[in-house]
Amino acid sequence: MRRDDWLMHQLPVGMTEDDFLRRFLQIFQSIGDSILTQIDVLDDVFDPTVAPDAVVREMGRWIGLEWLDSSHDDEVQRQAVLEYAQLLRWRGTKRGMEALLRFMSGGTEVLIDDTGGIYAEGEAPRQAPHVRMAMEQSILTHTDDVVRIIRSELPASVTFQLAIAGEIVWPPSEPGGGREQEFEEVR
């Protein structure tokens, strides 16, 4: 807590008795007070739980959440920034993808089956690694957002299949093939 006369208090005792100097310093103190107040709340400006919505979206962009925009619910945006910041070190791994899918599904169970791994020299399969993922629901409004997020998180050479609520949403179905096929349970 600052004193109301914090700037005046900096002067030598003899100068504090000059009325003109006191009034003159009050101008600078009022400017200084507004700056110090902004500094006092700086922590809150960068806290996703209380920051303004536009700042939350900008923080998301800083950590790689380009998909955050005003079309998403404010609470989803705040939670995404908090969760994703914790997931950055696991980006591109099965553990990171499971946590990301769990967030995007609202905390429901997710299933991931992959063909990746570490192989001895010359023993790696010739085809690209493939990941099969299933989630019960999505808290994001558009399925395209979910697919875009997953594509940005997986290594470039990895292909994937995604099912939401039992319906395969990626890869897109062949024309006339329908997308209603059941996702085989991954275990």
Domains of the chain, residue spans? 8-40, 50-90, 92-187
- Contacts with 163 (C-beta within 8 Å, 6 or more apart), sequence order: 133, 134, 135, 169, 183
- Helix or strand or coil: residue 161? strand
Overall fold of domain 92-187:
GMP Synthetase; Chain A, domain 3 (3.30.300)
pLDDT more than 70, % of the chain: 91
User: How high is the pLDDT of residue 181?
Assistant: 44
Q: Two tokens at 174?
A: 């062949």
pLDDT tens readout for residues 10-56? 888 888 888 898 899 899 999 999 999 889 888 888 888 888 888 88
Q: Which helix (H) or strand (E) holds 33?
A: helix 19-40
pLDDT tens readout for residues 47-86? 888 888 888 888 988 888 877 777 777 888 898 899 888 8
User: How high is the pLDDT of residue 35?
Assistant: 92
